[in-house]
Structure 1
């Protein structure tokens, strides 16, 4: 996905929540923009399921960069490839990692914090992520409650829902049964949860392709092939299992107790019509935590946090406002 040169942090020993230990761990990342003297002008970005560390040069170019809503002229934007993924960070795709253990969103957040510490970062203006990235951002904020001024969680629950676990199970079963073709099928299943019936009706209706096949089926096959060409099936399995592990209140007295420990401004963003994580899922933890709620309105559904950059940018600009005011003084 990314052609820019990656930075890599190396960790000799990393103990997982499960008790298993990973050795010689690599964590790939990009740092765009310059750290200020105090090292407190950081925006920490967490990517979604099949994303990479390259927010500025890859999957979030409309939001991150010079003069953009997350302005790399002002902020140092740090984005790491999550543990288990296949864009440079240690995962089951690596030779010798065939029996890759379960990693959780807590493990992923702790590894990112090791990088934050190694870089000498003293303050985070904003931590933000969507979907899986939102879960890890939430977990990171609970583990490090005093470091971030604002946290924005886009289209993510406080605990993975039964419905989402079921969809992930179906996708993993497809991969187990059919390997790379199974990954294509998993992506097609995923796309049906990322978008809405209204969008499909308006884009495709009952239209057919030249070969007589349904246009919507051709669209799904296209996305399946695209993912097969750029992603590793074993990483897909590892990351969906990490998503299923997500429960920010586990062992912490529940969701409200966990999230109320966060000292920074916490904003949950729901998307009405999201078939994967409903706006009600987001509202429930926002209300429990006494956090702030915002919405992205779109016929796209779950993927709107990526496909509606203007709405997303307005929410992020609001979250960054206190940091911007300090920089102007």
Structure 2
């Protein structure tokens, strides 16, 4: 199995071995590795970045290939790499160098595929904690991320409450709503019901039209109706098709070149089960366990992670503050328009922690 156009960044892959790892399910894997990106002075305060669903460890990237948060991280940026050390891991279960469904089992020498253990958000956090221990990092100033990255940030604050001073949670809620689960279900069914999927034994992503459809369904939830209208305005590509259709076709085809479909399914499932209140007497009780200062950011028109629930959460923690961004981008607002909200993060990073 291969990606359609494997990223060239795999040639310079940096990984850390965490050895044996036990999942929440009780499954145990040997020789687990996490791929990571690391920038900034080694003696500077550390900021841990957590990526979203189809993200990877390249939050900053390079001049030739800027990362997905290059506008927020870098020299002179809100998260200034002259003053902070920034680390991003590819999540456990991912497909950009970390151990996941596309990885080779050390004994069988075959890819795990759907024999990979189920992964939870808590598994992702525990594995990253073990990786940071291996790197000699035992405390960070902040943990931050958006969407799936925000879910990880939620869990970091409860699983390791003394490990950080600050949490920055963007475009994520304390649990995934039924609405979010519904769209994930549509995407998962589109992939699984594709005959070429072959119960995870496909030869190449390029065969998977169902994967394209899953991505298209996701894209509709990531951007707002207002933005689609402004950008496409019913413009035609041909006499019988519209620009919006061409855009979605492009996005569907593009995902096959940079992500593994099995990994996509595993991460969707992890998102479905995200709930900080699981086995903690509900999310409102869980919110009382945070010791770090918690800063949350919501985005106008976000269909998946609404303002009211994020704001409600910020009011439940001991030290919380919320910021709402007025944008047409909807959920994808956390990936663009950094000048609109990055300065708020910079301000909070520079203030003295309010921790007890």
Shorter-chain TM range is over 0.9
Report Cα offsets for 1:124-155 as digits up to 9, x if no partner.
Answer: 12210000000001101211111211101001
Does 2:226 match 1:198? Answer: yes
Q: Describe the shift of the 1:12–1:147 C-alpha distance in structure 2 as closer, same or farther (beyond 3 A).
A: closer
Question: Residue 97 of structure 1 corresponds to which residue in structure 2?
Answer: 112
Question: Residue 92 of structure 2 corresponds to which residue in structure 1?
Answer: 83
Does 2:39 match 1:32? Answer: yes
Q: Which moved more, 1:223-232 or 1:247-256?
A: 247-256
Q: Is the CA contact (8 Å cut-off) linking 1:91 and 1:100 kept in structure 2? A: yes
Report Cα offsets for 1:23-64 as digits up to 9, x if no partner.
Answer: 22110001111221xxx6001000000001011111111111
Report Cα offsets for 1:159-218 as digits up to 9, x if no partner.
Answer: 111111111111000011224211111110000000111111111122111353111111
Aligned positions of 1:252-267 closer than 5 A:
252-267=280-295
User: 1:2 and 1:304 mapped to 2: Cα distance?
Assistant: 27
Give the ranges of 4+ consecutive aligned residues of structure 1 lying more than 6 Å apart after TM superposition.
none
Q: Describe the shift of the 1:313–1:2 C-alpha distance in structure 2 as closer, same or farther (beyond 3 A).
A: farther
Secondary structure of the residue aligned to 1:209 is: strand
Question: Residue 47 of structure 1 corresponds to which residue in structure 2?
Answer: 51
List alignment gaps of at least 5 residues for structure 2: 1-6, 62-66, 105-110, 198-207
Residue from 7, 28, 35 that aligns with 2:14: 7
State the TM-score, normalizing by the size of structure 1. Answer: 0.93
Q: Which moved more, 1:64-73 or 1:298-307?
A: 64-73
User: 1:60 and 1:2 mapped to 2: Cα distance?
Assistant: 19
The Cα of 1:318 is off from its aligned counterpart by 2.1
Residue from 74, 84, 94 that aligns with 2:83: 74
User: 1:292 and 1:131 mapped to 2: Cα distance?
Assistant: 18
The Cα of 1:114 is off from its aligned counterpart by 0.8
User: 2:90 and 2:341 mapped to 1: Cα distance?
Assistant: 21
Does 2:257 match 1:242? Answer: no
Does 2:69 match 1:60? Answer: yes
The Cα of 1:123 is off from its aligned counterpart by 2.5
The Cα of 1:268 is off from its aligned counterpart by 1.4
Residue from 244, 257, 278 that aligns with 2:306: 278
Q: Is the CA contact (8 Å cut-off) linking 1:255 and 1:289 kept in structure 2? A: no
Question: Residue 156 of structure 2 corresponds to which residue in structure 1?
Answer: 140
Q: Is the CA contact (8 Å cut-off) linking 2:223 and 2:332 kept in structure 1? A: yes
List alignment gaps of at least 5 residues for structure 1: 325-329
Q: Describe the shift of the 1:316–1:6 C-alpha distance in structure 2 as closer, same or farther (beyond 3 A).
A: farther
User: 2:341 and 2:268 mapped to 1: Cα distance?
Assistant: 25
Q: Give the number of aligned pairs.
A: 321
Question: Residue 164 of structure 1 corresponds to which residue in structure 2?
Answer: 180
Q: Is the CA contact (8 Å cut-off) linking 2:290 and 2:317 kept in structure 1? A: no
Secondary structure of the residue aligned to 2:32 is: strand
